[in-house]
Structure 1
Amino acid sequence: MSSLATLAIYLLAGLGGGLVALLTGIPAAPLAGALLGAGLVSVSGRWDLAHWPPGTRTGLEIAIGTVIGTSLTSSALSELRQLWRPALLITVTLVATGLVVGLWSSRLLGIDPIITLLGSAPGGISGMSLVGAEFGVGAAVAALHAVRLITVLVVVPVVIRLVLAFTAGHSSR
Structure 2
Amino acid sequence: MPPLATLLIYALAGTCMGLLALRTGIPAAPLAGALLGAGIVSMSGRLDVAEWPAGTRTTIEIAIGVVIGTSLTRASLEQLQELWRPAILITLTLVMTGIAIGLWTSRLLGIDPMVALLGAAPGGISGMSLVGAEFGVGAAVAALHAVRLITVLLVLPLLVKLLVPLGLGES
1:43 is matched with 43
2:127 is matched with 127
1:60 is matched with 60
What are the equivalent positions in structure 2 for 1:115-154 lying under 5 Å apart? 115-154=115-154
Measure how far apart 1:165 and its partner are.
Answer: 2.4
SS in 2 for 1:11: helix
Alignment partners' CA distance in 2, 1:47 and 1:16: 17
1:171 is matched with none
Residue identity matched to 1:24: T
Aligned-residue sequence identity (percent) comes to 71
Which stretch has the larger CA shift, 50-59 or 60-69?
A: 60-69
Alignment partners' CA distance in 2, 1:165 and 1:79: 24
Measure how far apart 1:85 and its partner are.
Answer: 0.5
Which stretch has the larger CA shift, 85-94 or 66-75?
A: 66-75
Q: Could you tell me which runs of 5 or more consecutive residues in structure 1 were left unpaired when the two chains were aligned.
A: 169-173
Alignment partners' CA distance in 2, 1:76 and 1:165: 26
2:108 is matched with 108
Alignment partners' CA distance in 2, 1:19 and 1:137: 30
Residue identity matched to 1:118: L
CA-atom RMSD in angstroms:
1.4
Alignment partners' CA distance in 1, 2:17 and 2:149: 15
SS in 2 for 1:122: coil
Which stretch has the larger CA shift, 134-143 or 90-99?
A: 134-143
Alignment partners' CA distance in 2, 1:32 and 1:131: 21
Alignment partners' CA distance in 2, 1:3 and 1:119: 29
Q: Could you tell me which runs of 5 or more consecutive residues in structure 2 were left unpaired when the two chains were aligned.
A: none
Residue identity matched to 2:34: A
Alignment partners' CA distance in 1, 2:141 and 2:17: 20
SS in 1 for 2:54: coil
Alignment partners' CA distance in 1, 2:136 and 2:30: 26
Query: Structure 2-normalised TM-score?
Result: 0.95
Alignment partners' CA distance in 2, 1:61 and 1:29: 19
Q: Deviations over 1:27-57 (max 9, x none)?
A: 1111111110001001111111111000111
1:159 is matched with 159
4+ residue runs of structure 1 moved beyond 3 angstroms? none
